[in-house]
């Protein structure tokens, strides 16, 4: 029994790492939106689905290679995200509405968008053409992984590094940090806050979309509600990692992924999806600000 577990463990850990990377990849744009704009934007899951559907259309309908379909979908979805932000959230920002108003408005919009998308595309599962990515796999000892899994892990690490350097070392990053700290003060210091809000919405939408393409590629199952399922994992990831923290999203995503795979492998696959939520509730009780979070300060 123990020997068997030990023999399976490396492959299970690797599978967990890959699954965790998909969660982290998904949560990056989501946590960026919260970190800078201070809103839980529930339409984020819709960008994930949109990205996957756009890539499906580009590869199947237009016959484009994935190398073009992925950035194309990301840019288009980014623009959609800017539009939605302008229509739904900017009016509330102008009115200085309470933070829960923005959560509610995106909640309503999400319900509307998913239902419309389902009416348009139906709920059947669609697949990207098999020729899109090589199905070669590398084997190292007992461990085996395929191209799309490697692609997901590499992309996740690259995006995390890119985001962290953007925030830390560039002028835009400085403006983002200023906006996150205090919007009005940032504006008074000459930051074009509208432009920063648009850029952050664009980057987040594009990240969500890219995650949708890559994860759609890996699981090869695309349907309108894929974003909503992922969103529920996303909540767990960003709370456990700390709301708005990029490193937290990476660590929490991988933690959940690994624990889920281990639960499914050694306990019961039915309980796999409960792992993230149990961790979430435990986080709220014992370290509510999350792994990397700072205590929120309430100002009058």
Give the integer Cα–Cα distance in Å for 226 and 223: 6
Among 62, 112, 162, 188, binds other proteins (CB under 8 A): 112
Kindly state whether residue 182 participates in binding other proteins, applying the rule CB under 8 A: no
Stretch touching other proteins by CB under 8 A, among 7-15, 17-25, 87-95, 136-144: 87-95
Give the integer Cα–Cα distance in Å for 201 and 32: 9
CB of residue 49 to other proteins, shortest distance in Å? 15
Q: Which is nearer to other proteins, 119 or 140 (CB)?
A: 119
Kindly state whether residue 94 participates in binding other proteins, applying the rule CB under 8 A: no
> Residue 163 class from Cβ within 10 Å (0-12 exposed, 13-18 middle, 19+ buried)?
buried
Kindly state whether residue 281 participates in binding other proteins, applying the rule CB under 8 A: yes
Q: Which is nearer to other proteins, 96 or 135 (CB)?
A: 96
Stretch touching other proteins by CB under 8 A, among 97-105, 166-174, 197-205, 259-267: 97-105
Give the integer Cα–Cα distance in Å for 191 and 46: 30
Q: Which is nearer to other proteins, 63 or 296 (CB)?
A: 296
Tokens 């990831």 appear where? Answer: 237
Where in 20-49 is the site for other proteins (CB under 8 A)? 40
Question: For residue 43, what are its two tokens?
Answer: 């339409």
Closest CA to 289 of 230, 245, 251, 256: 245
Kindly state whether residue 120 participates in binding other proteins, applying the rule CB under 8 A: no
Kindly state whether residue 62 participates in binding other proteins, applying the rule CB under 8 A: no
CB of residue 22 to other proteins, shortest distance in Å? 18
Distance set, CA 62 to CA 68, 89, 99, 161 (Å): 11, 34, 42, 32
CB of residue 108 to other proteins, shortest distance in Å? 3
Residue pair 49/225 in contact (Cβ under 8 Å)? The answer is yes
Kindly state whether residue 161 participates in binding other proteins, applying the rule CB under 8 A: no
Give the integer Cα–Cα distance in Å for 254 and 25: 10
CB of residue 209 to other proteins, shortest distance in Å? 21
> Residue 246 class from Cβ within 10 Å (0-12 exposed, 13-18 middle, 19+ buried)?
buried
Angle 28-116-47 (CA atoms, 0-180°, nearest 5)?
A: 15
Residues 259-278: x/- map of binding to other proteins (CB under 8 A)? ---------x-xx-xx--xx
Question: For residue 19, what are its two tokens?
Answer: 């699954």
Residue pair 227/53 in contact (Cβ under 8 Å)? The answer is no
Q: Which is nearer to other proteins, 76 or 107 (CB)?
A: 107
Give the integer Cα–Cα distance in Å for 146 and 37: 37
Region label for 222, one of left (φ > 0), alpha (ψ between -120 and 50) or beta (otherwise): beta
Kindly state whether residue 300 participates in binding other proteins, applying the rule CB under 8 A: yes
Residues 211-250: x/- map of binding to other proteins (CB under 8 A)? -----------------x---x--xx--x---x-------
Among 83, 116, 162, 188, binds other proteins (CB under 8 A): 116
Total number of residues binding other proteins (CB under 8 A)? 45
| 287, HSE (Cβ side, Cα atoms, 13 Å) | 11
- Binding positions for other proteins, rule: CB under 8 A: 40, 88, 91-92, 97-101, 103-105, 107-116, 119, 228, 232, 235-236, 239, 243, 268, 270-271, 273-274, 277-278, 280-281, 284-285, 288, 296, 298-300
């Amino acid at each position: 029994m123990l020997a068997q577990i030990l023999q399976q463990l490396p492959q299970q850990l690797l599978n967990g790492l890959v699954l965790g990377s998909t969660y982290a990849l998904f949560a990056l744009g989501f946590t960026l939106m919260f970190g800078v704009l201070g809103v839980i934007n529930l339409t984020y899951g819709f960008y994930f689905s949109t990205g996957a559907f756009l890539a499906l259309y580009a590869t199947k309908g237009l016959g484009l290679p994935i190398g073009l379909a992925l950035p194309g979908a990301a840019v288009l979805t980014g623009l959609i995200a800017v539009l939605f932000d302008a229509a739904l959230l900017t009016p509330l920002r102008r009115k200085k509405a309470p933070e829960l108003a923005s959560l509610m408005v995106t909640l309503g919009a999400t319900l509307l968008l998913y239902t419309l998308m389902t009416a348009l595309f139906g709920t059947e599962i669609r697949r990207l053409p098999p020729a899109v990515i090589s199905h070669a796999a590398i084997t190292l000892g007992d461990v085996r992984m395929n191209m799309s899994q490697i692609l997901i892990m590499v992309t996740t690490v690259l995006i995390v590094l890119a985001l962290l350097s953007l925030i830390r070392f560039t002028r835009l990053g400085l403006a983002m940090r200023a906006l996150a700290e205090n919007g009005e003060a940032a504006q008074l210091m000459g930051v074009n806050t509208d432009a920063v809000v648009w850029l952050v919405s664009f980057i987040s939408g594009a990240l969500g979309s890219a995650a949708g393409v890559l994860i759609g590629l890996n699981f090869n199952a695309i349907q309108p509600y894929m974003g909503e399922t992922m969103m529920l994992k996303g909540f767990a990831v960003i709370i456990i990692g700390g709301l708005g923290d990029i490193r937290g999203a990476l660590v929490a995503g991988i933690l959940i992924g690994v624990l889920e795979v281990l639960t499914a492998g050694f306990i019961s696959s039915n309980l796999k999806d409960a792992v993230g939520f149990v961790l979430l509730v435990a986080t709220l009780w014992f370290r509510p600000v999350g792994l990397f979070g700072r205590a929120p300060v309430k100002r009058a």
